[in-house]
A and B are shown apart, each in its own frame.
Chain A
Amino acid sequence: MIDEAYKTNIEQRIVDAIADALEAGKIQESQLPEISQYVLSQINKITTHDQLIGFLSHLSLRWNIFHHIAVEEEGKLKKVVETKVAQDMVRLINQGDTNQAVNLAESIKPQ
């Protein structure tokens, strides 16, 4: 689940990215209403990390100035998943279910 504090953190990074992009001349002031409108209309709907990743992917597709945020969040999610998988694998191995542990490990291998 994504709590309000996390959303605020994402919003802060989005705002920082906007300011940096403006300063670097990557976006124009006239684009701000469209960007902020899109962010505000989408971010309120987000409740899970998956939704957040989906939102950030779309956001960075429309404006690549947000690409780094999407990548960072995807990385975080991947790390969370890997940690969880590792814990589950240890648990399965301890239970003697090696096959299941192997299957689990296979499931997160990149395609």
Chain B
Amino acid sequence: MASVDLKSAETLGRAALEKTPSTGLTPEQQLAKKIKDEASKKGPHSTLEDMRSPRTPDQTKVEHYLEDHFYSKIDADGKKDREGGSRAETRFNQAKAAEAAGRKFIEHGWDPTKLNTNEQKFIKDSVKAVIESWPDGKAFIDSLPVASRSAAVDTMIIDMLQNPDMKPAVQKIFAGVFDEAKIREHITTEAGAKLAREKAKQSAIDGEITIITGKITTNATELGEYDPTKTKGKDLAKLDSEAALAQHSQAEAKSKIDDINSNIATNQSYLRRLNPSHPSFATDKKTLEDEISLLKGEKTIQEKALKEATDKLVQRQLLIQEKQQLQEERKRLSEEKAALEKQKDDIDDAVNRANTEFASQQSRHEKTEEQIVNELQSVFTDAAREYLIQKVTKLETARQELIDKEAKEKEESKDKVSDDEKKLGKYLDNYWMRDISNRGALKKWWNPNNKEFDRKGINTSYKEMITAGPDQVLWQLLRGSDSTKFPNRTAAETWINDPANSAVVERMRVQVAEQLITRRLQTGSITEGDARFIASSTWGKDAIDVAIKRKSDIQTQINKLKESGIIKGNVGEWVYEQVRKNPVFWLSLIFGSAAFSAIGSAVIGAGLLTTASFAGAGGVLMTGGLAGAKHNLS
């Protein structure tokens, strides 16, 4: 299929996206009109609110855009075609499926009655992939008991998808895929057209060469007949060998015929002059007539000999001429073929150049198609990432505000924070951290700062705390925070054990325990044995109290359970009990970074926590005690 004079696909793509409906207004004019109409109907404030989210691109325009961008062939009329089974068709279907899922989600939110099974799976898998790609999220999932993990993860994902912040995040990313400013460079099909033109030339010259080659073959066959072993060759050789004799015979016969004609004429002259009255008239007449008859007989013989000789010579001449013509034809055809082949070389070069250019553009085009598919398929992962980053930032900010508030309140109260605590707090902030730039590691999306956890230091300190209690870590921290006041271990331990410092030391232990458990969970995991030990220790319980106070989302979920009557009696005791029953999960939730609670608190609210141990319940998530709790995991 030849391609000629094609329009740039980029131009077509833009045209599809910018196609102006029949109103005759430009897209900008339409939008301006829409804004004014909406402002007069809904008021300017609502209109401004609507403007905050990027508009979801018009479905028809997007469909045109996809239709126009995914193709495997362009015909001579510039019509694009997606051939069945082509990679373009596969990519087109992938793009359409992802586009449909995104559009439905933006329109209806997480609604299983609107999203088909594949779309639901695609969306949930996208979100899950983000959670799992995030060390905190992965650690949290791993902290869930195996038997209930799948249901709990499903709950977390659906909670995220149902969150009102998720839809705008998806909408923003989705709109970004079709942002006109981002419509990427597209294949310029001029290269395809050029290739088609060059190929057409190549095809034409190939045809001419084929024809001339056929003629040369025929010529060679015909000329081959003059081979001495072939009929015409033998004939010509024979005629050549007989030519001298034939020429002689021809001349001799001609001469004889001339003589005979002369004799006949003489005898006829004699015959006309005979005197009928002469007595020998009859005899003379008969003699002359017999002589003439004999001469005519002889003449016939000579004429035959002449004809035979002439025929041979003519036949020879014809063969020679034909052979010469064939030889000349061969020369002409060979020259013509050589000229065509030279032209073909030039055309072949042009085809190769056009082919290379087209292949390069085709490769770029395929990459473009892949990019569109990737961007569409990444809408939910990108949105989930953005959602989580925002959520975590918000929670961390809220947590920090609470900490600051507590510090301020303490500062203003008589139970003022001591300088030692302040120094310790400041020192703790970065104690188990190290600069990423120190080892040249790349920043990760979940950690935009150039700090990362010092896993080795955390593990060492954690083991020390579990083995010997927080004091074992505390003396080291005191030394680090103020080496003048605490020049050695003895000085620090003496200070710790001084009854005058007991209140401060108590708070410091909690501070250290909370920070260390948090860091441990951010970088690894806590065994069930460790978790139970922490939950049963005084410093552990105190740390739990402090951590819960600073996590509003957990408090919200716990309050929900309290209001629905699932938690009866003292909330603190209920929490300790939960920690003892499902220690790893709860400690992950309470001490994990804000990230844990960002994604995990939904598990509590969904009634996935029971008064029985996950493990002990043998995978049954709900007990009779939680019959009133709502959950949607059926």
Residues of A within 8 A of B (CB): 8, 11-12, 14-16, 18-20, 22-23, 25, 28-30, 32-33, 35-37, 39-40
Stretch at the interface among B47-55, B126-134, B145-153, B364-372: B47-55
Give the distance in Å from the alpha carbon of A16 to the alpha carbon of B48 in the complex: 11
Give the distance in Å from the alpha carbon of A12 to the alpha carbon of B43 in the complex: 8
Residues in A neighbouring B35, C-beta threshold 8 A:
15, 18-19, 22
Residues in B neighbouring A15, C-beta threshold 8 A:
35-36, 39, 44, 47-48
Q: How many residue pairs between the two chains, A and B, have CB atoms under 8 Å in the bound complex? A: 64
Among the listed A23, A28, A36, which residue makes an inter-chain contact with B48, where contact means beta carbons less than 8 Å apart?
Answer: A36
Residues of B within 8 A of A (CB): 27-29, 31-33, 35-36, 39, 43-45, 47-49, 51-55, 172, 179-181
Q: Say what secondary structure dominates the interface of chain B.
A: helix
Q: Which 10 A-B pairs have the closest CB atoms?
A: A36-B51, A11-B44, A23-B32, A19-B32, A12-B44, A15-B44, A32-B51, A22-B32, A19-B35, A36-B48
B45 touching A23, Cβ below 8 Å: no
- A20–chain B nearest beta-carbon distance, Å: 7
A22 touching B28, Cβ below 8 Å: yes
Give the distance in Å from the alpha carbon of A8 to the alpha carbon of B172 in the complex: 27
B52 touching A25, Cβ below 8 Å: no
A40 touching B52, Cβ below 8 Å: yes
Q: Say what secondary structure dominates the interface of chain A.
A: helix
Residues in A neighbouring B172, C-beta threshold 8 A:
33
Give the distance in Å from the alpha carbon of A15 to the alpha carbon of B44 in the complex: 6
Among the listed B27, B32, B45, B47, which residue makes an inter-chain contact with A20, where contact means beta carbons less than 8 Å apart?
Answer: B32
B48 touching A14, Cβ below 8 Å: yes
- In the complex, what residue of chain B is closest to A29 when comparing beta carbons? B31
- A39–chain B nearest beta-carbon distance, Å: 6
Residues in B neighbouring A29, C-beta threshold 8 A:
27-28, 31, 55, 180
B52 touching A23, Cβ below 8 Å: no
A35 touching B51, Cβ below 8 Å: yes
Give the distance in Å from the alpha carbon of A111 to the alpha carbon of B67 in the complex: 64
Residues in B neighbouring A23, C-beta threshold 8 A:
28-29, 32
Give the distance in Å from the alpha carbon of A77 to the alpha carbon of B229 in the complex: 120
B181 touching A37, Cβ below 8 Å: no
Residues in B neighbouring A8, C-beta threshold 8 A:
43-45
Give the distance in Å from the alpha carbon of A8 to the alpha carbon of B44 in the complex: 7
Residues in A neighbouring B33, C-beta threshold 8 A:
19
Residues in B neighbouring A39, C-beta threshold 8 A:
48
Can you identify 7 A-B contacts, CB atoms within 8 angstroms?
A8-B44, A12-B39, A15-B48, A16-B36, A19-B32, A25-B28, A40-B45
- A82–chain B nearest beta-carbon distance, Å: 29
Give the distance in Å from the alpha carbon of A4 to the alpha carbon of B179 in the complex: 35
User: Quick one: which of A20, A25, A30 has the most chain B CB within 10 A?
Assistant: A30
- B593–chain A nearest beta-carbon distance, Å: 28
Give the distance in Å from the alpha carbon of A110 to the alpha carbon of B443 in the complex: 55
Give the distance in Å from the alpha carbon of A78 to the alpha carbon of B543 in the complex: 60
Residues in B neighbouring A16, C-beta threshold 8 A:
36, 39
Known pairs A8-B45, A25-B28 / 7 extra A-B pairs, C-beta < 8 Å: A16-B36, A19-B39, A22-B28, A29-B28, A32-B54, A36-B51, A36-B52
Residues in B neighbouring A12, C-beta threshold 8 A:
39, 44
- A22–chain B nearest beta-carbon distance, Å: 4
Give the distance in Å from the alpha carbon of A32 to the alpha carbon of B54 in the complex: 8
- In the complex, what residue of chain B is closest to A41 when comparing beta carbons? B52
Residues in A neighbouring B179, C-beta threshold 8 A:
30
- In the complex, what residue of chain B is closest to A23 when comparing beta carbons? B32
Residues in B neighbouring A36, C-beta threshold 8 A:
48-49, 51-52
Residues in A neighbouring B36, C-beta threshold 8 A:
15-16, 19
Residues in B neighbouring A11, C-beta threshold 8 A:
43-45, 48
Give the distance in Å from the alpha carbon of A36 to the alpha carbon of B47 in the complex: 9
- In the complex, what residue of chain A is closest to B38 when comparing beta carbons? A15
Residues in B neighbouring A19, C-beta threshold 8 A:
31-33, 35-36, 39
Give the distance in Å from the alpha carbon of A14 to the alpha carbon of B49 in the complex: 13
Contact (A33, B54) CB under 8 Å given A11-B44, A15-B39, A40-B49: yes
Give the distance in Å from the alpha carbon of A82 to the alpha carbon of B100 in the complex: 61
- A18–chain B nearest beta-carbon distance, Å: 6
B53 touching A33, Cβ below 8 Å: yes
Residues in B neighbouring A40, C-beta threshold 8 A:
45, 48-49, 52
Residues in B neighbouring A14, C-beta threshold 8 A:
44, 48
Residues in B neighbouring A22, C-beta threshold 8 A:
28, 31-32, 35
Residues in B neighbouring A30, C-beta threshold 8 A:
54, 179-181
B52 touching A33, Cβ below 8 Å: yes
Give the distance in Å from the alpha carbon of A15 to the alpha carbon of B39 in the complex: 7
Give the distance in Å from the alpha carbon of A28 to the alpha carbon of B27 in the complex: 11
- A16–chain B nearest beta-carbon distance, Å: 7
- B18–chain A nearest beta-carbon distance, Å: 12
Give the distance in Å from the alpha carbon of A11 to the alpha carbon of B45 in the complex: 6
Residues in A neighbouring B47, C-beta threshold 8 A:
15
- In the complex, what residue of chain A is closest to B25 when comparing beta carbons? A23
